[in-house]
Chains A and B, each alone.
Chain A
Amino acid sequence: MDFTLTKEQEKFRQGVRDFLEGEIRQGLWEPSCDAWIMGHDPEFTKRVAQRGWIGLTWPKEYGGQGRSFVDRLILTEEMLRYGAPAACHWFADRQIGGAIVHYGTDEQKRELLPKILNGEAYVGLGMSEPDAGSDLASLKTRAVEDGDYYVIDGQKTWTSGGSHMNWIYLLARTDPDAPKHRGISEFFFETSLPGITVTPIVDITGGVHFNEVFFESVRIPKKCLIGEKNRGFYQVLNQLDYERSGMERLMGNYPLFEALIQYTKETRRNGKPLCEDPVIRPKLAQLKIEFEIGRLHMYRIAVVMDDGRAPNWESAMSKAYGTTFEQRLASTAIEILGLYGQLSPQSKRVPIRGMAYHSYLSSKGYSLQAGTSEILKNILASRKLELPSQ
């Protein structure tokens, strides 16, 4: 047992911090909550790519760095700590590149991975549909073979990254006669093809990060199929383990946490700082305790991945835990700010740049995206605890 990071890892962390602090000093961007999913900044993504910080864990032969998942966790932890605008590359780096490494042909690896590594492919996730949410396998979007092509028809919704994507990862039905889990395939292609329409969905915060995407006779070459035809559902389950496993499920609104602590130190009420208030003080400490427990969950997952296992029930556990923490953080922040907590980011007199307002609303979706907490607990019950299904 050893809970420390190596000297190289600490040095790496410091390097990431220096880079991000330098960016902030230059005024290139401002730290913000949800920046991993809402902060689309192609130039930032380019600069990250130039440092070799996309595809950190991918094999060297495909342009990755062949580094550990703990290393990647350090990198993403710092990105989230500083609220860096990493949305352009986040999904591709986290799961799509890995899926291609895992299931793609050599040709796909040679052709597609460099686009992600260079920070040029902004990937949207085309999974959910209007009638296929938690029950993803009931999706209806069709991919029909036609010579050297598949023809895609259907609709995706809640497509994260949809408004800025130039590539899409798509799950579509390739065998309508097979049992629903066994007739789905994975595809990866450019969204500049004719027949694709993206309609933004305005979320509860007033922002746009997910979208409806319509496919009307979209012809994609057969080489866009990732992995085995009709095995897509099983392949995506593996991908989802990675989608759920990251520090963004705990630190998506971390800039709020830091700002809140600072605010309670600097703001005086009844002649003393808010952080000395006997009601507020233990609330902040409790948040810190819950955060640190979550952090241990996240590091455990990285260790599991470095051991060569997919983080299956572990990521279900950590995501359900982490998103609950984030919701509590945002809610507690508004309580502590009191009447000021209700002010929107655009309002006069708004404290801490309105991050509490934003995160409170935004965090309602955290426990829905990438597997609802209920689905995650089902996974925990069946795969870790082996409870019966009937």
Chain B
Amino acid sequence: MNLAFTEEQEMLKNMARNFLSDKFPKTVVKEIEESEPGYSPESWKEMAELGWMGVPLPEKYGGGDMSFLDLAVLLEEMGRACLPGPYFSTEVLGGLTILDIGSEEQKQEYLPKLASGEAIFTLALTEPSARYDAAGIQTKATADKDAYILNGTKLFVPDAHIADYILVVARSDEKSKGEGGITIFIVDTKSPGISCTVLKTIANDKLCEVIFDRVKVPKENIVGQLNQGWSAVQRIIQRAAVAKCCEMVGCIQQALDMTVSYAKERKQYDRPIGSFQVIQHYCADMATDVDGTRLSTYQAAWMLSEGLPCTKEVAIAKAWAGEACQRVMALAHQIHGAIGVTIDHDLQYYTRRAKAAEVSFGDASFYREIVAQEMGL
């Protein structure tokens, strides 16, 4: 058993932390959040040049031949920096899905574009029912000669407004209501019939409503197997949940660091508030929650990285992280006092993201049920 990063991972972490704090001070984050695209094309290019786009992809597709665990290190730093933009969508939802189930031709076609930063990808999974189960997939894919016609509404699709390609999860066999009859398609967003509206969200990220109105997709754009896409979707959700946990680790670690540092500086009754036992205990509770989140997240990330079955570990990590983040942020605010609830203070970026992350890719209730099943209940 060894819980330390490798030397290379430490270097990656430090490099990412320096780059992100340099390029994304909160004034820049704010500007980007308020801008229409919600990302900085310039920084996107720079990140591609650093090799971040293809971190977990094989070298032959232009990737860095690194592991999911290496990606986890990077995602933690992105969570710490509140990086706005489509990295998560492109890398975790797009790239890793194509790598997992795409054909060799598809990998050769899409992954080099992704790794070079040339194309943005995302995944259209959830619908107005806002569920992560197979029954929630109502968008229809109807066979039409050499193509499929997509009809339906996808909701909470991240970064669809700027994506070049959307992986769409659709019901391709109407007779099947459950986990059968589901297929994943890769759709060029220039295809006629796609309309996209950006939703206003708590995290100021760009979640979209995407309407597919008779969108024609060639048969060769099926990713994975026809009517058997659900198991791949489950793996996507699993990877995304762990990746989200990594961001959450960075988010609450930074919130803790900011809070401890504030508690050392802020004086009341002629002494730093961090010298009061009640504040110290709040900080200790925060640190315990942060470490629990970190340990369970990296356990899940490591297991995914090693290709080990980890349904239980992923469920534990995300169920825990979702609720731990809320406790940490509540105490961070309590210690920061009124300054922390101002729009100009950095803390609010973390508060907003932590809440959004809690409900993304399965909340604690969703994963408690999975844990219950794993316990044989």
Q: Footprint of B on A, CB under 8 Å?
A: 1-5, 70, 261, 264-265, 275-276, 281-282, 284-286, 288-290, 292-293, 296-297, 299-300, 302-303, 317, 320-321, 374, 376-378, 380-382, 384-390
Whether B277 sits at the interface, judged by CB under 8 Å, is yes
- Contact assessment for A285 and B1 in the assembled complex, using a CB-CB cutoff below 8 Å: no
257-313 of chain B: CB within 8 A of chain A? 260, 263-264, 271-272, 274-275, 277, 279-281, 283-285, 287-288, 291-292, 295-296, 298-299, 302-303, 313
- Contact assessment for B371 and A288 in the assembled complex, using a CB-CB cutoff below 8 Å: yes
| Bound-complex Cα distance A87 to B279 (A) | 37
Top 6 closest pairs, chain A to chain B, by CB: A381-B280, A377-B284, A296-B295, A380-B284, A285-B368, A275-B377
Which residues of the other chain, B, contact A300 by a CB distance below 8 angstroms? 3, 291, 295
Selected contact of B375 from candidates A261, A297, A299, A382, CB within 8 Å: A261
| Bound-complex Cα distance A377 to B282 (A) | 9
Q: How far is the CB of B18 from chain A (nearest CB, A)?
A: 22
For the A-B complex, the count of residue pairs with Cβ-Cβ distances under 8 Å equals 137
With A3-B299, A387-B263 already in contact, the answer to whether A299 and B284 are too (CB < 8 A) is no
Whether B35 sits at the interface, judged by CB under 8 Å, is no
Selected contact of B368 from candidates A275, A289, A374, A390, CB within 8 Å: A289
Nearest chain A residue, comparing its CB with the CB of B72: A1
| Bound-complex Cα distance A3 to B297 (A) | 12
With A261-B375, A321-B292, A377-B281 already in contact, the answer to whether A389 and B2 are too (CB < 8 A) is no
With A317-B287, A381-B281 already in contact, the answer to whether A2 and B2 are too (CB < 8 A) is yes
Tally B residues with Cβ within 8 Å of A.
45
Q: How far is the CB of B281 from chain A (nearest CB, A)?
A: 4
Which residues of the other chain, B, contact A321 by a CB distance below 8 angstroms? 288, 292
Whether B240 sits at the interface, judged by CB under 8 Å, is no
Which residues of the other chain, B, contact A303 by a CB distance below 8 angstroms? 1-3
Q: How far is the CB of A10 from chain B (nearest CB, A)?
A: 12
- Contacts A1-B2, A261-B377, A387-B264 supplied; 17 other A-B pairs, CB < 8 Å: A1-B5, A2-B302, A282-B369, A285-B368, A285-B372, A285-B375, A285-B377, A289-B319, A293-B295, A317-B288, A380-B284, A380-B288, A384-B287, A385-B260, A386-B260, A387-B280, A389-B275
Interface of B is mostly: helix
- Contact assessment for A387 and B275 in the assembled complex, using a CB-CB cutoff below 8 Å: yes
Nearest chain B residue, comparing its CB with the CB of A377: B284
Selected contact of A289 from candidates B9, B69, B288, B371, CB within 8 Å: B371
Contact with A along B140-162 (1 / 0, CB 8 A): 00000000000000000000000
Whether B4 sits at the interface, judged by CB under 8 Å, is yes
Whether B316 sits at the interface, judged by CB under 8 Å, is yes
Whether B320 sits at the interface, judged by CB under 8 Å, is yes
With A1-B4, A378-B277, A389-B275 already in contact, the answer to whether A281 and B372 are too (CB < 8 A) is yes
Selected contact of A5 from candidates B1, B275, B313, CB within 8 Å: B1
| Bound-complex Cα distance A300 to B3 (A) | 7
- Contact assessment for B295 and A265 in the assembled complex, using a CB-CB cutoff below 8 Å: no
The winner among B9, B280, B298 for most chain A CB atoms within 10 A is: B280
Nearest chain A residue, comparing its CB with the CB of B295: A296
Q: How far is the CB of B178 from chain A (nearest CB, A)?
A: 20
| Bound-complex Cα distance A285 to B373 (A) | 9
| Bound-complex Cα distance A70 to B2 (A) | 10
Interface of A is mostly: helix
| Bound-complex Cα distance A54 to B50 (A) | 53
Selected contact of A387 from candidates B2, B260, B320, B365, CB within 8 Å: B260
With A282-B368, A381-B281, A388-B264 already in contact, the answer to whether A70 and B1 are too (CB < 8 A) is yes
| Bound-complex Cα distance A317 to B365 (A) | 26
Q: How far is the CB of A303 from chain B (nearest CB, A)?
A: 5
| Bound-complex Cα distance A317 to B281 (A) | 11
Which residues of the other chain, A, contact B288 by a CB distance below 8 angstroms? 317, 320-321, 380
The winner among A303, A317, A376, A380 for most chain B CB atoms within 10 A is: A380
Which residues of the other chain, B, contact A1 by a CB distance below 8 angstroms? 2-6, 9, 69, 298, 302
Which residues of the other chain, A, contact B375 by a CB distance below 8 angstroms? 261, 284-285, 288
Nearest chain A residue, comparing its CB with the CB of B293: A293
Which residues of the other chain, A, contact B372 by a CB distance below 8 angstroms? 275, 281-282, 284-285
A/B interface sample: 16 pairs, CB < 8 A: A1-B3, A2-B302, A275-B372, A284-B377, A285-B372, A293-B320, A297-B291, A303-B1, A321-B288, A376-B284, A377-B284, A378-B277, A381-B281, A385-B284, A387-B272, A388-B275
- Contact assessment for B292 and A297 in the assembled complex, using a CB-CB cutoff below 8 Å: yes
With A285-B372, A381-B284, A387-B264 already in contact, the answer to whether A265 and B303 are too (CB < 8 A) is no
Nearest chain B residue, comparing its CB with the CB of A316: B284
Q: How far is the CB of B276 from chain A (nearest CB, A)?
A: 9
Q: How far is the CB of A294 from chain B (nearest CB, A)?
A: 8
Q: How far is the CB of B22 from chain A (nearest CB, A)?
A: 26
Which residues of the other chain, B, contact A275 by a CB distance below 8 angstroms? 372, 377
Contact with A along B222-262 (1 / 0, CB 8 A): 00000000000000000000000000000000000000100
| Bound-complex Cα distance A287 to B296 (A) | 15
| Bound-complex Cα distance A167 to B274 (A) | 43
| Bound-complex Cα distance A286 to B371 (A) | 8
- Contact assessment for B291 and A317 in the assembled complex, using a CB-CB cutoff below 8 Å: yes
| Bound-complex Cα distance A276 to B281 (A) | 37
Which residues of the other chain, A, contact B284 by a CB distance below 8 angstroms? 317, 320, 376-378, 380-381, 385
Selected contact of A2 from candidates B1, B280, B368, CB within 8 Å: B1
Which residues of the other chain, B, contact A387 by a CB distance below 8 angstroms? 260, 263-264, 272, 274-275, 279-280, 283
Contact with A along B1-21 (1 / 0, CB 8 A): 111111001000000000000
| Bound-complex Cα distance A380 to B6 (A) | 26
